[in-house]
Structure 1
């Protein structure tokens, strides 16, 4: 990405947050922050249930290894409330996240529409230099993505950080130290599972950043091509409805085919980019559980680890590397969100240019202010 593209992206980011942040600091924002606190509590409870599942996994396999029917029945009975709690918390999490996303999307969409309609900006937007095609697409689709994704990201990041903190301790306690000989020299690594998961996660995240760096720009270009295709189709419809003279039909149809060709070429480029990122993410999905088992195998074979501890440590290894590699699993969505955020910011910047020299500014209309304060 060029330096100019970076500068434009920064301006669009700043413009988006200049508007979007007011949702979180208005007079009625306490309701949203209360919902945030509820969501945080749900995340903590989900982690507690996951923690209990990790120890249930250990106890269950230890009972299998010891051929202990009474202990197996006890673990089977414990499984029912753990599953029920997990399901209830998962449903509650979906409700909380979608309630917050819905409220933010409604507020921001209303704000952008007010600004778009105010002073006939919707009619004058075509005079602005740039590629602000189909503003209604940006209002409907890009605003949705720009408000949905941050809520999911915030919940997932909090969950990932807490998961890493909790299960790193499990790895440290269960795995313990390991020693081996290298060229006749005895080498010891304390908490070797923790060291291993950190190194592995760093390698995978670095690979994703290297492979996926162009993805945001590719998605943005693809979305622009889709908007231009919709614009070209609207022009043809205008001819059919008599809005545009019939004599322009040939040129408009030619423009529609050209727009379709551009959209398909952008999709092909996106496809190749997603294939590269999928190669990294899918390889990680396959290898992470296996690596945890392989690393624990020497201790298990040396009778320094029970079967239950082996499965517990492998499961904890997978959870911790999943937390460390959050970016790997969510890279495509992060790129999609950044693209939509920049497109909404770009629309707002274009509307800013339509303000007259008499002092019209980027403040919301009366209706928008009322919604913000209410």
Structure 2
């Protein structure tokens, strides 16, 4: 059991160190190391001031006991200087610590955003949720929370806890010698023999704090798992409310409010149940830590009182012993005082390390699909699987040259949209060779419309400044949206503001604005009336012909066949499980 706990501690330490070190080795390493060195120096300075104040206690209280007014007033002026120096150190220690936390959080946030959004990892991590029985670790829940909240907590808690531990160690090293020299020897007889324990107060402080730390660990250990779970339940609850807001119209039309209300209440119920368990665990810990802290106030006086009443020490020395004991006991009680924060830090660190491991795994997974750029669209021995490993597309080959207009069709569930994602280079569960044309745009059935000014939404992902108002308005008019020409600077939630047909026309306006050579559309006009659909297809065909490219579209309406000269048909070759192959034919 001890060996396994040691290995767990060692592995956890390595993972946390792996999270922490990249920032201090980054391009900001000199600023980071400089801030850290300054904070360490200020912590050492603060401990040194406490040593001076501890010595001041002895002189000051002796002056009170001996009624030495001149010494009393002199020591008050000395205390003012010591206190002022300590305040200056404390203020700048706080200020520089906040700056280090801020800069570290900013760097880690940028670092994880770059990795999460690179090479479509954010998409692949979501797909991995459906990979039943996959050998790799389950994908992380709520990556947004891990980047936004967990990074913030990790940096702030790491800095505060590490500096607190450093301060405790330095304080212990500084005051243990003082307490040893002041505490004297403890002599007692047992079984006819005389015993003498030097530095008795030090040993009492060690015994007191070791007992308290062990008890705190066993009382507070459940907090680690409960904190981890609380963060997950909070994020799940918030995420589902966001989905209700995003799909508000569909839910309202389906009269799904009672169902969503029940789903949210269930998630909130799990959140509250975990929170109640967390509160109860914290209550037990608070009971003990407060008892431990209050007992520590009088403990040194109880132990040192016999020497004071016997006249062996004066009041000033008694107060110095109490002050030194408080510093030593406070240093040794660092675990007791910070266990709740440590539990939260451990849970946050675990969430970030699992996120880091999943990102690393996703980056390291070899690509089964070999992709290259060319003038045409060509697939060679392309096979596709579902995330759970079930085959979907048998090895197939096809070629679409410039000037061709391909209509992709097949029965429901045959994998048309999955093939579309594969042609876009998004689908990770594919093998074979894919040659993608240059200057290509993909239009999904439900386009993404960013919130903000309409000109930004129309130009997305390009900068709106790339296009003048005349070009933007012309694209809107070609997409049958002339009424939006006066709305270019209006900020709105366009996915909520526009109807389904308007959203699809806005996505087509993007294509007409940017004028790619190749266009690949997945049911991109399914929400349009027949006349508007045919008009926009005419413009898409004209666009691709003028740019020397081609068109690949998924569509169910038979009327659209006349805009294409080639059909790629998904033909079923196996029914259990359903498996298809791609067949190319002329229209």
Of the three residues 288, 301, 308, the one matched with 2:296 is 288
Q: Is the 8 A contact 1:201 1:325 kept in 2?
A: yes
2:234 to 226, 236, 239: 226
Paired residues of 2:307 and 2:313 also in contact (CA < 8 A): yes
Q: CA deviation at 1:345?
A: 2.0
* Rg larger in structure: 2
8 A contact 1:13–1:345 mirrored in 2: no
Verify the 8 A CA contact 2:237 2:268 in the aligned structure 1. Answer: yes
Question: Out of 337, 345, 351, which is 2:345 matched to?
Answer: 337
Question: Whose RCO is larger (CA < 8 A, sep 6+)?
Answer: 1
1:297 shift after superposition: 0.3
Change (3 A) 1:222 1:305: same
Q: Of the candidates 257, 261, 265, which is equivalent to residue 269 of structure 2?
A: 261
Counterparts of 2:10 and 2:124 in 1: how far apart (Å)? Answer: 25
Q: Which residue of 2 aligns with 1:324?
A: 332
CA distance in 1, matches of 2:73, 2:13: 56
- Aligned pairs for 1:1-374 (under 5 A) are 17-18=17-18, 20-129=20-129, 130=138, 132-182=140-190, 185-242=193-250, 246=254, 248-355=256-363, 356-358=365-367
User: 1:52 deviation in Å?
Assistant: 1.0
Q: Is the 8 A contact 2:139 2:358 kept in 1?
A: no
Count how many residue pairs are aligned between Structure 1 and Structure 2: 358
**Contact 1:20-1:108 within 8 A present in 2 as well:** no
Name the CA shift for 1:251/1:119 in 2 (closer, same or farther; >3 Å). farther
- Residue 12 of structure 1: CA displacement? 8.2
CA drift of 1:350 comes to: 3.2
Check the 8 A contact 1:239/1:246 in 2, yes or no.
no
- C-alpha distance 13-118 of structure 1, shift in aligned 2 (>3 A): farther
Q: TM-score, normalised by structure 2?
A: 0.57
Query: In the aligned structure 1, how far is the partner of 2:122 from the partner of 2:139?
Result: 15
Once the two structures are superposed, residues 194-220 of structure 1 have per-residue CA deviations (whole angstroms, 9 ceiling, x without a partner) of 111111111111111111122111110
Contact 2:19 2:353 in 1 (8 A): no
Contact 2:244 2:251 in 1 (8 A): no
Please say if residues 53 and 82 of structure 1, whose CA atoms lie closer than 8 Å, have aligned partners that are also in contact: yes
Cα distance, 1:44 vs. partner?
1.6
Let me know the Cα RMSD of the aligned residues. Answer: 2.7
C-alpha change, 1:108 and 1:272, in structure 2 (3 Å) is: same
Other structure's SS at 1:181 match: strand
Larger CA deviation: 238-247 vs 227-236:
238-247
Q: Secondary structure at the match of 1:128?
A: helix
| Residues 257 and 243 of structure 1: CA distance in aligned 2, closer, same or farther (over 3 Å) | closer
| TM, length-normalised to structure 1 | 0.88
Distance 1:338 1:59, change over 3 A: same
2:547 aligns with none
CA offset at residue 23 of structure 1?
Answer: 1.0
Give 5+ residue unaligned stretches, structure 1. Answer: 1-5, 361-374
Secondary structure in structure 2 of the residue aligned to 1:226: helix
Note the residue ranges of structure 2 that are not aligned, 5 or more in a row.
1-5, 130-137, 370-587
Comparing 105-114 with 173-182, greater Cα deviation is found at 173-182
**1:341, 1:280 → 2: CA distance?**
26
Deviations 1:29-73 (A, max 9, x none): 122222222112111211111011111111111011101111111
Taking structure 1 as reference, are residues 19 and 302 closer, same or farther at Cα in structure 2, changes over 3 Å only? closer
Report if aligned partners of 2:205, 2:328 keep a CA contact under 8 Å in 1.
yes
Question: How big is the shift at 1:252?
Answer: 2.4
Q: Does the aligned pair in 1 maintain the 2:60–2:75 contact within 8 Å?
A: yes
Paired residue for 2:478? Answer: none
Deviations 1:210-248 (A, max 9, x none): 111221111101111111111221222123255897354
Q: For residues 329-361 of structure 1, give each alpha carbon's deviation from its aligned partner in whole angstroms, at most 9, with x where no partner exists.
A: 00110110111111122223333454452399x
2:507 is aligned to none
